[in-house]
A and B are shown apart, each in its own frame.
Chain A
Amino acid sequence: MNSTNNTLEQLKAALSPLDAYIAADRQIAMTVNPGETMRALTFLRNEGFAQLSILTCIDWIRDNDFELVYILMNWEKGIHCQLRTRINRENPVFDTATDIFPGARYYEREVHEFFGIEFKGNEDSYKPLFLERWDSIPPLRKDFDPQAYSDSKFPMRDRDKIFKSRTGGADNE
């Protein structure tokens, strides 16, 4: 816990984040301004957080925000760091992190597909990845209703009608 504290203090001094705390055992959480994110990622990578474990997103629909979460791992110290930043939900455009972490390429493509966030500089991020011929709003947004989508795509069949036509119209009851 001690080394986590030291690392936290060091990162606080260097990055002056909006918010920084210890989220769990050996895990630091920091929130920075969107404009500061790339600088913070570069700094963290040079400080030993050399691995991007995952890049993901949260849809805070009540605040009208998307929160991007970069989870980095420092294998020397055994500390994870969540770097978080919020961008406006109405204009979901952000910079790519592929120059700093090349491994972000497919994570950004996934976030684009599921949340509709554009990553400037990642030429692949517009291509579909997991969903084939998706024709609705990005599905992990909170205003996407899977039940309604499923009902419209796969309507319930009228069981009585099918049953009766197969049995020549005879009433089962």
Chain B
Amino acid sequence: MNEVKLFLGPQHPGMHGNYSVHMYVDGDKINKARPTPGFLHRGFEKLMERRHWMGNLALIPRICVPEPDINEMVYAMGVEALAGIEIPEKAHWIRMLVLELARIAVHVMGLGFIGGPTGMYTATYWAIAQRDLLLDLFEELTGARIYHMFIVPGGVRKDLPEGFSQKVLEKLDELEEKIPEFEELILKHPVIHARTKDNILLPEDVVWELGVTGIGMRTATGKKYDLRKVKPYARYDQVEFEVPVAEYSDALTRLNTKVKEIYQSIGIVRQVLAKMPAEGDVRVPVSSGNALRWTVPEGMVYSAVESNRGEYGYFIVSDGREMPYRIAVRGASYPQGLLGVEKYLKGYRIDDASLWMDSMGVCTPEIDR
């Protein structure tokens, strides 16, 4: 048989942005795959070295498009660790509220977008509609739908608006009623079931070889490796939640885990709203000086949070001036998106390639940066 070279992408093979894979196929079987990133390379790491600490806030949410809030959180956590400041109690709780609402939004979207590679767009439309209702909440809280720039070094920008908690609770009740419909439509759909069950496997040794984190790691190893539990930040040690795990990692298990995590996040948001202090400041200055131009003491720190795809981190270096000296971004899906595609996409069929990308949680803007 002749081997043929085919291109997957560069336009949205799964969902999150432009990415291309060169596939060498024989019939419809992939013999060799080479990832070709770079379509979304915007040079953020260099740009950040040329902007003030505060000015970078406008850049960083754009590094991961579907879940931008984690960028603000790791950046703020890193700067606070370097500056050695303690932020107000209430700010921690508002941050958790934002992060968990974002996690719900991105999981709902990820759940629906399985319709892309499997050819059932109803799921996608339903998911986008639900996500939009959550984005309405963000719009009210932060003024923006996607890129919020709300979590800033030193706390959060503003306190919650009046009556906001009530709206969040109503929206969550509504969402909770909808999720069984999603399960019915997506997880029990015969075609999606057939395509995802026992397909796109992720064995435990591959997890350690590549450095995969997040749902992939937890379903493959069966351990509760979630940074919110293992290395709690904000006030995650004061809320109760379960980390869903599994003994076996195929595409269907990972989809199921997403649903379980949505329920856990809804639970966390409810606890956050109940336990949040009613009064108090939400922001402190990082250091003296102009609100937009301040310095950060010398040092190097790595800060990490649990994103919907796994460990997401920034390595921040300050030389004591008004701009960062160097910031390196650890995209959560970097390992599976590059080395994973090269080593483990082979052997699958062409039509499973985009399912592979989606199910492994590959998010290209954070790989290219």
- Do A and B actually bind? yes
- Residues on A lying within 8 angstroms of B by beta carbon are 23-27, 29, 50-54, 56, 58-59, 69, 71, 73, 75, 78-80, 82, 84, 101-103, 105-107, 114, 129-132, 139-140, 144, 146
Given A25-B81, A56-B328, A59-B326, the answer on whether A82 and B368 have CB atoms closer than 8 Å is no
Bound Cα distance A139, B46 (Å): 8
Given A24-B81, A140-B45, the answer on whether A129 and B37 have CB atoms closer than 8 Å is yes
B303 in the interface, Cβ–Cβ < 8 Å?
yes
Query: Secondary structure at chain B's binding surface: helix, strand, loop or mixed?
Result: mixed
B315 touches A50 (CB 8 A): no
- Pick from B38, B313, B315, B317: contact of A132, CB under 8 Å: B38
Bound Cα distance A144, B47 (Å): 12
B321 in the interface, Cβ–Cβ < 8 Å?
no
A54 touches B46 (CB 8 A): no
B93 in the interface, Cβ–Cβ < 8 Å?
no
B335 touches A103 (CB 8 A): yes
Residues of A within 8 A of B197 (CB): none
Name which residue of chain A comes closest to B40, CB basis: A130
- Residues on B lying within 8 angstroms of A by beta carbon are 37-38, 41, 43, 45-47, 50, 81, 208-211, 213, 223, 225, 227, 230-231, 299-304, 311, 313, 315, 317, 325-326, 328, 330, 334-335, 338-339, 368
B339 touches A24 (CB 8 A): no
Residues of A within 8 A of B368 (CB): 130
B231 touches A26 (CB 8 A): yes
Residues of A within 8 A of B37 (CB): 129-130
Residues of A within 8 A of B330 (CB): 53-54, 71
Bound Cα distance A25, B82 (Å): 11
- Pick from A101, A106, A114: contact of B334, CB under 8 Å: A106
Residues of B within 8 A of A146 (CB): 43, 46-47, 50
- Pick from B47, B81, B213, B328: contact of A51, CB under 8 Å: B213
Residues of B within 8 A of A29 (CB): 300
Question: Within the complex, what minimum Cβ distance (angstroms) separates B176 from chain A?
Answer: 31
Name which residue of chain A comes closest to B84, CB basis: A24
Task: Give me 5 other A-B pairs in contact (C-beta within 8 A), A25-B81, A71-B330 excluded.
Answer: A58-B317, A58-B326, A106-B334, A140-B326, A146-B50
Bound Cα distance A1, B20 (Å): 44
Question: Within the complex, what minimum Cβ distance (angstroms) separates A107 from chain B?
Answer: 8
Question: Within the complex, what minimum Cβ distance (angstroms) separates A104 from chain B?
Answer: 9
A102 touches B43 (CB 8 A): no
Residues of B within 8 A of A107 (CB): 334
Question: Within the complex, what minimum Cβ distance (angstroms) separates A60 from chain B?
Answer: 9
